[in-house]
Chain A
Amino acid sequence: MARYLLRRLAFLLVSLALASVVLFVLLRMLPGDPANALTSVGAGPEQIAAARHSIGSDRPLPEQFTHWIGQLATGDLGTSFVSSLPVGPEVSSRLDVTVPLTLAAFVLAVLIAVPAGFVAAYKRRTWYGALLSGVSQLGIAVPVFWLGMILIAVFSLNAGWLPAGGFPQEGWAAPTEAVRSLALPVVTIALVMGASLTRYVRSATLDVLNSDYLRTARALGSSFGRAMWRHGLRNASVPVISILGIELASTLLGAVVVESVFALPGLGSMLATGIAQHDYPVIQGVLFVSTLAVLLIGFAADLVQRIVDPRLRNRLSGGPR
């Protein structure tokens, strides 16, 4: 296990290094000059050159890259071209919205999906089992932003129970308002994510229910509950864990649409603004932090999988195969 841990950590670092090169190169391929964003319309060549010099975009690319990596090593994400504010603190204040949003939605989705998926598989011949399967099919067809719009219309515009969007200026210093403004976005993400998770849980449960080892355990006199607990849970959780990792990562990054529906000042909206303004340090910073998060989540998911399933020991990176 220690050897695996080392190998996997090395792999994590290599991935991170690769990802940062790709990120840097990809961004420099964006058309348009960031200096244009800094100068007024009709600025002379000298002004543009001065602007380029001030943000360092006139230097050769390898030099810009090593400069950026050097900054990263000291924990500095750089300074925004547009606002001249450091990116790091901005990212961390945005994370105050995005992380609670993602984690709460994730937990709620798991709380919905695990029982729903199990019932949908175990009771698949009853009307409610079929209904659960049907609803989960519907859930993966509903666009998340549309669900958000409907929830806003029903619960805030009509009923007036919750705010339609925005986040309190004071942030978590106003805990009640903060929780209230995150309630609808959390439910929106959790419902959509829960629907797709339900399908995976159902499928994994069905595999277990039809397995030879469960039948053998039952034939040897084990009760259904005990057989499921001892043999079923572990086997069913392997594919589900790897999906959970992917879902968590993609929710963290994919919250941009929901943040836009609910006008939340999260990481996604910061990225969207950064892209629109060609603000390289902002885009790089946000994407670097989220890539790091994605890689760490994958790392954690792999570790948990390996603890649950010793058959995976020989593989570097897990995934449903």
Chain B
Amino acid sequence: MKRRTSPADRANRPNRSYTLIAGCVLAGLIALLALVSLVWLPYAADDTSGGRLTGPAADHLLGTDKLGRDLFTQAMTGSRIAVEAGLGSVLVAAAIGVTLGVLSAFAQGWLDDTLSAFLDILIAFPTLLLAMLIVAARSATLGSAVLAIGLAQSAVVARLVRILVKRVLAQDYITAARTSGTSWPRIVAGHVLPNIWPTLVVNLALQFGLAVLAEAGLSYLGLGAPPPNASWGRMLQEAQATFTTAPAGALAPGILLVLLVIGVNLVADGLRDTLDPATRRRRA
């Protein structure tokens, strides 16, 4: 859908790049924490040398949990798991979703109705429920969680891709390419994918945030990465009982989670405006 850019919108444009920068800084900080955790952690994951439920102090930046383990160490590990969960799920969702979406965009008539209705039902089926089933069918590991979240999200990606591809296929240059004898696979690779990728990348960035939230929800229910891998969701679950006595453990993982998701969403917003200025669509 084409939309004229009003002068007021244009005046807002410079602010938008700040969105991208702010998002990159937030998400980058968490990503940095995750990268550092790969090579260095303040304490070992099973080090219970600290006092139980101590508050934040110099040697334990966020205090300790009820077993005396360092919460900052767990939070760092949690950031690694969150980033892994987000990246992994988005990869699964993109691989399945793009393939399914492109294929269903070529469907016509009742097949088209059926496919889009099937995707609608799948989308209405909450990620978490599907994930619970898959995790129960396999086992509670990060891999199961990632696979489940990615599968659930692939329906959303597929529907988006389907709409985008249909829109491109209706263009005159596709008819022109067909008339000049270009094969469908070449049209998809040469015309369709290059035209849909800006919107796709933005949506995948949003899915990253949702995947991080879903993984946290699964681990909160005890269906995520098993101990001693401290996922933020499991940290929160463990800290729930001691919220009033040791609030740091119940607040810090949540704040990190919110920062990462907001950061990624801001990156998505910023990308939308930089990558896709012509068909810029406002989103709330």
Contacts and interface: CB of A to CB of B under 8 A. Distances in A.
A157 B243 contact: yes
Contacts of A250: 124-126
Interface stretch (B28-36, B62-70, B174-182, B258-266): B258-266
Please classify the interface of chain B as helix (H, G, I), strand (E, B), loop, or mixed, using the class held by over half of its residues.
helix
A305 to B, nearest CB: 12
B3 interface: yes
Contact of B236 (A125, A145, A256): A145
A250 to B, nearest CB: 4
Contact of B137 (A31, A125, A200): A31
A203 B282 contact: yes
Interface residues of A, number: 62
Interface in B217-250: 217, 220-221, 233, 236-237, 240, 243-244, 247, 250
B117 interface: yes
A203 B123 contact: no
Interface of A: 11, 15, 19, 26, 29-31, 117, 120-121, 125, 133, 136-138, 140-146, 149-150, 152-153, 157-158, 198-203, 206-207, 210, 245-246, 249-250, 253-254, 256-257, 260-261, 271-272, 275-276, 290-291, 294-295, 297-298, 315-317, 319, 321
25 contacts: A26-B137, A29-B137, A31-B138, A137-B265, A140-B209, A141-B209, A141-B257, A141-B262, A143-B216, A143-B257, A145-B216, A145-B217, A149-B236, A149-B250, A153-B250, A203-B283, A253-B126, A254-B126, A260-B220, A260-B221, A276-B136, A290-B129, A297-B124, A317-B113, A317-B120
Interface of B: 3, 6, 8, 113, 116-117, 120-121, 123-126, 128-129, 132-133, 136-138, 159, 163, 209, 213, 216-217, 220-221, 233, 236-237, 240, 243-244, 247, 250, 254, 257-258, 261-262, 265, 282-284
10 closest A-B pairs by beta carbon, nearest first, are: A199-B284, A202-B284, A141-B261, A254-B126, A146-B254, A203-B284, A249-B124, A275-B136, A250-B126, A317-B117
Given A141-B257, A271-B132, A319-B159, 4 more contacts: A141-B258, A143-B233, A145-B216, A256-B132
